[in-house]
Amino acid sequence: MYLNISVNEFILLGLTKDVLKEDIVFAIFLLLYLTTVFANLLTVMTIRYSRMLGSPMYFFLFYLSFADACFSTSTAPRLIINAVSEKKVISYNECMIQIFTLHFFGCMEIFVLILMSFDRYVAICKPLRYTTIMSTHVCGALVKLAWVGSFIHSIAQVSLALKLPFCGPNVIDHFFCDMQPLLKLACMDTYVMNLLIVFNSGAICTVGFIILIISYILILHSLSNHTTEGRKKALSTCTSHIIVVILFFVPCIYTYARPLTVYPVDKIVAVFYTIGTPMLNPLIYTLRNAEIKNAMRKLWCTKLG
């Protein structure tokens, strides 16, 4: 097993080298990050303390919002700090931690989205057995499995990163540490390592996306047997979920399910799924969900009144 002994830190080039543009990056992404954290924590607190939102769907949404806030926090603060710093460095240890948190909470988001689609499938396709199948015990066990699966995935990523020997350049052409940028710097043949990453991260993204698409096809097919009102409500809920799935999975599949090839658009795609999607998720769910909006209004008016 190789361990890094010659490189103690990396230089992150960020999104731009232009000083004026860096000030713009700082202002825009600070605003986006604060909005993301506020919106997701507001959703988390509302679900946690509102008695109106006790169903399994909101139980899973609680963990999705928590994962979104943490997922964005794994990359955005470093991008914001480096935008106004002369020395745009990240230590080797912090780089490994960033890889762990990025993949842990990103994988957690994938698993929770799958659980949410399973919940909607049972609710719409097997309504008479819904309370039995999606009991509190079952939902808790499913979330625990998601935590364990995410931990195993992220540990695997960090283990691969720790095996990379660095003996030359330490400049990462990105705004955060991830396996693909590090592979470019490693002084070893990374072909096998790249295949392992594709079979790991790429497979999780692709298989997860296929499972979600199949589940929503089954859900939409079953709606023909529902009343007009029930069909409208189910379509509204599923539409929100499908939008989230497309916004998150398409950029992730583009990034992780392909060979190690660098394109100029890669950093923009990374911005979208690491910062953009976590900000949009709570907005999509709250703006399209009357129950959450009413619960927020009632809960926070009572707290602040």
Domains in the chain, start-ordered, CATH in brackets?
9-118+129-304 (1.20.1070.10)
Question: pLDDT digit string (tens) for 173-217?
Answer: 888 999 988 988 888 888 888 888 888 899 999 999 999 999 888
Spatial distance between the Cα atoms of 103 and 98, rounded to a whole number of angstroms = 8
Beta-carbon contacts of residue 233 (< 8 Å; ≥ 6 apart): none
Residue 203 pLDDT: 92
Confidence of residue 305 (pLDDT cuts 50, 70, 90): low
Q: Which of 16-20, 66-70, 83-87 has the lowest mean pLDDT?
A: 16-20
In sequence order, the β-bridge partners of residue 295 are: none
Confidence of residue 280 (pLDDT cuts 50, 70, 90): confident
Spatial distance between the Cα atoms of 113 and 281, rounded to a whole number of angstroms = 11
Residue 1 pLDDT: 43
Residue 232 pLDDT: 74
**Coil, strand or helix: which one is 171?**
strand
Q: What is the mean pLDDT of residues 72-94?
A: 91
| CB distance 19 to 263 below 8 Å | no
